[in-house]
Each structure stands twice: as structure tokens, then as C-alpha cells.
A and B are shown apart, each in its own frame.
Chain A
Amino acid sequence: EVQLVESGGGWVQPGGSLRLSCASSGFTFSKHVLTWVRQAPGRGLEWVSTINGGATSTYYADSVKGRFTISRDNSKNTLYLQMNNLGADDTATYFCVKEPNSDYIYSWFDSWGQGTLVTISS
């Protein structure tokens, strides 16, 4: 069974930083594209960032480009999202998401973690 468990969320002041983690099991980690999707409270879904299986290619939404960095450690089956210069618009639940392919990013999201809440407030 695929398991994706996010951690690292919490409250931080505007301009601050957080690092999210996603511990994974139940599938061959290095053979899957992984993605972060976020959902502001009471709102819809927004794609944030994607990384391919070999960690050679990364992709970002314009809203986070230059502030967020996605990475993965295939030896630890863990996905990360380093978030810097956070603002109120970044307040959301962040979901770790698995995709069906190892490199092809034009795909659906087949498994989701429970999410971790990030709150940006002074």
C-alpha cells in the first residue's frame, strides 16, 4: 500500500522559512515523479512543484518560483519542499503527491498524502 506522510508544517511569520518533508513507502520511490499540491483553507487545489524520479528536473508554479525548492533523497524515500520568504498567500495545506511515471510530468496524481498545514501570520 502506498503511504505518503507529510511533516514540517506549522506557524511562521511572514518572511520566514519552513521545510516540509514527505516520507514514502509502498512503492519504488526512485521510479516515480513526485509533486507538491496545496490547498488554501476552504479553497481549491493548486499545483506547486514537481520533481522527476532521478531528481534531475524540477518544475515550479510561477507563484513560488525563486522562493521554494523541491528536492528528494531516493536513499531515504523522502521528498522535501524548502519554502523561503513566506507570505500570507502561502497559507495552505500542502499535499505530497505521487505520479505514475518516472520522468514524464504530463500526468495525473494517483496517490495523495494527508497533508500538512502551513500557516503564515504575524
Chain B
Amino acid sequence: DIVMTQSPDSLAVSLGERATISCKSSQSLLYNSNKKNYLAWYQQKPGQPPKLLIYWASTRQSGVPDRFSGGGSGTDFTLTINSLQAEDVAVYYCQQYYDTPRTFGQGTKVEFK
């Protein structure tokens, strides 16, 4: 199975500041034939189901604010939240869909400093 490891486990950021979450995979998620990285990011607020933010490592889902951006390739990826807003407090998960079983990172909790 592909192991997804996120860091840090939790992150305290001031309102309006930037939050950056790292996600590393145990093998490359870059599919050579289409040059796409098979990685998604989700946001889960307390008591709610996860919500898709980003797929193909950097494509924002429709309706997701542009302060959320994804980057990276191969085995190293980042989710950046520019100018953190109150409603961004949540747990964020990365997920690989390069291989089955599809696996998630352990989650990163983003809180206010």
C-alpha cells in the first residue's frame, strides 16, 4: 500500500497569515503517460464530512476559494492556505488515487494562533 505522511500533525496560524501543509507519499504519484499527479486534498470541519478541495495535486474543485492552492510532484506535495480565514479551521487530508487501495494521510489540524 502507498503510505501517505502529512506534516505537521497540527498547525497554529494567525488570522490572515499563510498555512502550509506537507504531504509525502511512499512512492511517486506521477503517472508518466499523462504527466499527472494522482493526489487530492480534502477539508473536514468538526461534525461534517470531508469536502474535496483539490485534485490532480493542483486543480481546485469548483467553488473552492482561490486562497487554497496545491503544489508539488512525485512524492512531495503541499497545500497552502493564503490569508487564513475563520472558516478555514479544520482538519486537512491528502489522498492518493494512483493505486488501490486508495489511501489518506493522517490529517493536519489547522487552528488559530
Contacts and interface: CB of A to CB of B under 8 A. Distances in A.
Interface string B71-106: 000000000000000000000010101111111111
A45 B95 CA distance: 9
- Overall SS of chain B's interface: loop
Interface residues of B, number: 23
A52 to B, nearest CB: 13
Interface residues of A, number: 19
Contacts of A47: 101-104
11 contacts: A44-B104, A44-B105, A47-B101, A47-B103, A61-B101, A106-B97, A107-B97, A108-B52, A109-B40, A110-B55, A112-B50
Contacts of B52: 108-111
A59 interface: yes
Interface of B: 38, 40, 42, 48-52, 55, 61, 93, 95, 97-107
A108 B98 contact: no
A105 interface: yes
Contacts of A54: none
B38 A110 contact: no
Nearest to A109: B52
Contact of B51 (A59, A105, A112): A112
Contacts of B40: 108-109
B45 to A, nearest CB: 12
Give the residue among A44, A107, A108 with the most B Cβ atoms within 10 A.
A108
* Nearest 8 Cβ contacts at the A-B interface: A112-B49, A108-B40, A108-B55, A45-B104, A47-B102, A106-B97, A44-B106, A44-B107
A46 B104 CA distance: 7
Nearest to B40: A108
A36 to B, nearest CB: 12
